[in-house]
Amino acid sequence: MDLLGWVIFIVALLFSVMLHETGHFVTAKKFGMKVTRYFVGFGPTIWSTGRGETEYGIKALPLGGFVKIVGMTSMDEVNPADEPRSFRRHPAWQRIVVLCAGSFMHFLLAFVLIFGLALGIGISSDNTTQLGTVSSCVAPSVTALNNGTCAPSDKPSPAKLAGLRPGDQVIAFDGKPVSNWTQLGNAIRRTPPGSHVTITVRQDGKTVTRQATLAAVPGRSGAYLGIAPTIVFTPANPVRAAEYAGTAFGQVIGGSVKAVAALPAALPQLFSKNRANTAGGQVSSVVGAAEATGAAVAANVGWQYKVSFVLLLIASLNIFVGVFNMLPLLPLDGGHVAVIVWERIRAWFARLRGRPDPGLVDMAKLLPVSFSIFMILMFFGVLLILADIVNPVNIAG
């Protein structure tokens, strides 16, 4: 099952790459640009076929893909007969649309996945008193608590010591009836750590009362019992599904920005023994994402949770890639958009001065910058992959 998760993730990743390149391909064709190649992967060609003026194919290394559009920059040599159809000879707005189309396809795929999840499987809700998980330990920090990590030296959680089990339905907390997770959670947080409480549950068809002494997690307000509710999925109508997809979209974008901003601080912690409890445990590579997919597929949970987790992970990855790709840095698409915008600003100033349009930016002068940024991105990418291979974040309940 773990291997199946990897296969699902790799197929989804390749499909996302194909959609990205399809965005460039379709818009370039629409505007009459000459597209000579559409390939998935890099390296030696495994298979290719020619249709019209375009060669389609698959290469050996499934690490991306590319679309070859004639005359992308001022450096490209173009047959004079093809020059009118070159990328660089088209209006700026058309070139920007072509460059942004790749990220747009990532965003579209993510929205469709989240919308379909809400419509078909349902929107998850945890406002129930039925226990879904019972923590094994009292986490030593808020970060460890959020990651669900336990160390051998951590004390057992009050819930585990009390004999609570997944599937138990909590009826009352410390003698007061509770009917939803909001009530139960508030009751636990209002109780001082160290308090001795009673928990009444329906367990194996019987009503039983358990005793627990509440604990505290450093850095977290309120008492800690060590329980989490069962996740319930409720299918949504199209309007609610669209609202849910829009909200999730915004949340992932915000999280993506935070992840990028946290990367410099996370790098020193990537190979630390305590990575899961540091900023290094909050960032991951495609290897880490694939491992998470495999773990979710192999987990002993319901199929709804598995499908929901995988779809949301793939959607989140697409949103992150779409946002990252539009950063104004060469050689990313956003960097090329920035170059075109600068060309038009420069042309506008030239008109104000009564001078001719200076034309295309000399990309040869930007090659050192583009190469430097590319190497930095490669360094970060390789470092994250190595960290996820030799020092993965192990999640334990």
Q: Which two tokens stand for residue 41?
A: 């992967």
Q: Which two tokens stand for residue 245?
A: 């997809």
Q: Which two tokens stand for residue 266?
A: 């996370």
Question: Is the Cβ–Cβ distance between 293 and 313 less than 8 Å?
Answer: yes
Overall residue count recorded for the chain in this entry: 397
Question: What is the 3 state secondary structure string of the chain?
Answer: CHHHHHHHHHHHHHHHHHHHHHHHHHHHHHCCCCEEEEEEEEEEEEEEEEECCEEEEEEEEEEEEEEEECCCCCCCCCCCCCHHHCHHHCCHHHHHHHHHHHHHHHHHHHHHHHHHHHHHCCEEECCCCEEEEECCECCCCHHHHHHCCCCCCCCECHHHHHCCCCCCEEEEECCEECCCHHHHHHHHHHCCCCCEEEEEEEECCEEEEEEEECECCCCCCCCECCEEECCEEECCCHHHHHHHHHHHHHHHHHHHHHHHHHHHHHHHHCCCCCHHHCHHHHCCCHHHHHHHHHHHHHCCCCHHHHHHHHHHHHHHHHHHHHHHHCCCCCCCHHHHHHHHHHHHHHHHHHHHCCCCCCCCCCHHHHHHHHHHHHHHHHHHHHHHHHHHHHCCCCCCC
3-state SS, residue 352: helix
Catalytic residue list contains 21 = yes
Tell me the β-bridge partners of 38: 56, 67
Distance CA 383, CA 374 (A): 14
- The residue type at 18: M
**Catalytic option among 21, 83, 243, 291:** 21
- Residues annotated as catalytic (active site), given as ranges: 21
